[in-house]
């Protein structure tokens, strides 16, 4: 009778870690091999596998959350025009995208699809609503729940287009961050200033606000924002990147940069060793062949 192979037990299934590697000027460093990387789990070196960013094993699933409160009306005039960029530049040929709108409530405008027209149409449906609320944290929680329905080998990405702060969510920032981390989601906020954006819009671009409210009320409301920059927190805690825009060209450029980053990443994966840590594990990734490289990856994961 043949001896059985030893059973290897781990706290979680395979952990996928997309890694962005650039030089000091932000230019991607191409041509790296698996042996160029080291990855540690709670400071313990792991045996890794590397796939190229265009591997058929790891398509992209992206949930786009768009702020639709009244204060966003000038930005929405620009956002309506970029929906057609999401499928070809970010999701890719085998990827999927979903669209969420959030203000005083969170609404799913488009479930996951590969259809470019459906994605563009959902972007165009986002119209300004209540001026004083933007449930960013609740939108993140909704996006996480949707992305969790995608197969685990997908690269799960959330794109937030809105202000950098939450106003009125039932969910707390810590809970929203942890839910994204547990689901292996990388969050990319693209934010704008509600003070600056109106002055880059044409008067004809701005639809009327509900209840007759205007920019004056929106700007006064800015003074009541919390001090926490939620966009920075989501980006740093998930390995994403906080981008910003003021003009339509700036938004188009930010989406283009996001697509370039997603499709130039190195995809590392590993099966965690058995450990007593049932909570949060810290991941450290280094490129030993390029000690001056700027490396960005998910900072950790939660054991299951």
pLDDT above 80: residue 124: yes
Q: How confident is the model at residue 5 (pLDDT cuts 50, 70, 90)?
A: very low
Give the pLDDT confidence score for residue 10 in this predicted structure.
44
**How many whole angstroms separate alpha carbon 163 and alpha carbon 66?**
10
List all residues 6 or more positions away from 5 whose beta carbon is below 8 Å from its beta carbon: none
pLDDT above 80: residue 17: yes
Q: Please write the tens of the pLDDT for every residue from 280-297.
A: 999 999 999 998 999 999
**How many whole angstroms separate alpha carbon 191 and alpha carbon 174?**
20
Q: Which two structure tokens, joined as six digits, stand for 104?
A: 């005083």
Q: How confident is the model at residue 196 (pLDDT cuts 50, 70, 90)?
A: low
Question: What is the average pLDDT across 161-186?
Answer: 94
Q: Please write the tens of the pLDDT for every residue from 69-113.
A: 988 889 999 999 999 999 999 999 899 999 999 999 999 999 999
Q: How confident is the model at residue 12 (pLDDT cuts 50, 70, 90)?
A: low
Share of the chain above pLDDT 70, in %: 83
pLDDT above 70: residue 223: no
Least confident window among 92-101, 142-151, 200-209: 200-209
Question: What is the average pLDDT across 237-257?
Answer: 96
- Please give the distance of CA 261 from its chain centroid, rounded to a whole number: 12
Give the pLDDT confidence score for residue 25 in this predicted structure.
87
């Amino acid at each position: 009778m043949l001896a059985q192979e030893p059973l290897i037990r781990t706290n979680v299934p395979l952990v996928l870690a997309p890694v962005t590697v650039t030089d000091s000027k932000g230019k991607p460093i191409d041509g790296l091999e698996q042996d160029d990387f080291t990855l540690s789990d709670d400071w313990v070196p792991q045996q890794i596998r590397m796939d190229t960013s265009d591997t058929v094993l790891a398509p992209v699933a992206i949930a786009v959350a768009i702020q639709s409160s009244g204060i966003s009306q000038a930005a929405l005039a620009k956002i309506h025009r970029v929906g057609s960029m999401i499928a070809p530049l970010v999701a890719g040929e085998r990827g999927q995208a979903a669209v969420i709108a959030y203000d005083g409530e969170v609404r799913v405008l488009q479930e996951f699809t590969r259809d470019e027209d459906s994605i563009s149409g959902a972007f165009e449906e986002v119209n300004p609503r209540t001026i004083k609320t933007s449930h960013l944290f609740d939108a993140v929680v909704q996006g996480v729940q949707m992305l969790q329905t995608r197969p685990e080998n997908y690269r799960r990405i959330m794109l937030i287009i809105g202000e950098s702060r939450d106003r009125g969510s039932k969910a707390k920032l810590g809970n929203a961050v942890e839910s994204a981390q547990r689901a292996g989601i990388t969050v990319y906020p693209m934010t704008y200033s509600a003070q600056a954006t109106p002055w880059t819009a044409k008067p004809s671009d701005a639809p009327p606000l509900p209840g007759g409210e205007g920019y004056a009320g929106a700007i006064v409301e800015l003074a009541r924002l919390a001090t926490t920059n939620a966009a920075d927190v989501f980006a740093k805690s998930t390995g994403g990147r906080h981008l910003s825009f003021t003009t339509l060209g700036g938004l188009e450029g930010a989406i283009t940069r996001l697509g370039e980053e997603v499709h130039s990443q190195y995809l590392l994966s590993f099966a965690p060793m058995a450990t007593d840590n049932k909570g949060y594990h810290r991941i450290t990734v280094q490129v030993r062949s390029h000690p001056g490289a700027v490396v960005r990856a998910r900072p950790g994961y939660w054991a299951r």
